[in-house]
Amino acid sequence: MLKLVIGDRNYSSWSMRAWLAVKQTGLPFEEVNIRMRGAGTKVEIFKYSPSGKVPCLIDGETIVWDSLAICEYLAEKSPSLWPSDRKSRAEARSICAEMHSGFGALRLNMPMEISASKPFDGRSAEVDADIARIVAIWENCRAHFAQGGPFLFGSFSIADVMYAPVVWRFLTYAVDLPPASRAWVETMCALPAMQEWRAGALAEVKAR
């Protein structure tokens, strides 16, 4: 059975991506939850992950760390995680890579905190630029690649995985969205796996 090592559900956006990808494949897996920001956190993570970071996927003797690498590994087991046609797949991979390496202002100023509600005005130009680019990506995917389906590329894919934590960020910080993007956010929020992750995040916060 697969083993997935993750951090706090309320804060760990990268853990959420890997967890959501595994969950949507339907493959059985075991969770290892490590509380972040503790005195022994790093030592505990190193028991599983050579990078000292979460998430980390363990499949027998195979260890995969980094969220996007985990998604790619899972797509080899469940090819439907990527769009079936080449053009859509190329677009999906491009926007996933962009999320993986970019949007630093958004990450710094609007960290994922699922349990919170922090609407605010006066965002920096850099944060506004990140938000505008993300919305442009969503709008383009919905207009040109969704083909009537509810997700970014019609059927659920790694693209939805990689942008899922932004859903919680935009809700936490009350970001206004155009109709197509708002509809995708609502679709994601209704996904049972997303609801399960959110419930876990709220339970973690309540327990502390």
SS (H, E, C) the chain: CEEEEECCCCCCHHHHHHHHHHHHHCCCEEEEECCCCCCCHHHHHHCCCCCCCCCEEEECCEEEECHHHHHHHHHHHCHHHCCCCHHHHHHHHHHHHHHHHCCHHHHHHCCCCCCCCCCCCCCCHHHHHHHHHHHHHHHHHHHHCCCCCCECEEECCHHHHHHHHHHHHHHHCCCCCCHHHHHHHHHHHHCHHHHHHHHHHHHHHHHC
pLDDT at 122: 80
pLDDT in tens, 70-94: 999 999 999 999 999 999 999 999 9
pLDDT at 59: 98
User: Do residue 42 and residue 106 come from a single domain?
Assistant: no
User: Do residue 86 and residue 68 come from a single domain?
Assistant: no
User: Do residue 86 and residue 159 come from a single domain?
Assistant: yes
pLDDT at 37: 82
**137-156: average pLDDT:** 97
Domain range for 64: 2-79
User: Do residue 106 and residue 187 come from a single domain?
Assistant: yes
Which of 37, 54, 79 is the last residue before a domain boundary? Answer: 79
pLDDT at 38: 83
**134-154: average pLDDT:** 97
Count of the separate structural domains present in the chain:
2
What's 69's domain CATH number?
3.40.30.10
pLDDT at 6: 98
- Residue 199 included in any domain: no
pLDDT of residue 121 exceeding 80, the answer is: no
pLDDT in tens, 90-102: 999 999 999 999 9
User: Do residue 11 and residue 39 come from a single domain?
Assistant: yes
pLDDT of residue 68 exceeding 90, the answer is: yes
pLDDT at 39: 83
Average pLDDT over the chain, rounded to whole?
Answer: 96
User: Do residue 95 and residue 142 come from a single domain?
Assistant: yes
pLDDT in tens, 2-54: 999 999 999 999 999 999 999 999 999 999 999 988 888 999 999 999 999 99
User: Do residue 154 and residue 59 come from a single domain?
Assistant: no
User: Do residue 71 and residue 100 come from a single domain?
Assistant: no
User: Do residue 111 and residue 44 come from a single domain?
Assistant: no
- Residue 179 included in any domain: yes
Which of 79, 96, 124 is the last residue before a domain boundary? Answer: 79
pLDDT in tens, 172-197: 999 999 999 999 999 999 999 999 99
- Residue 107 included in any domain: yes
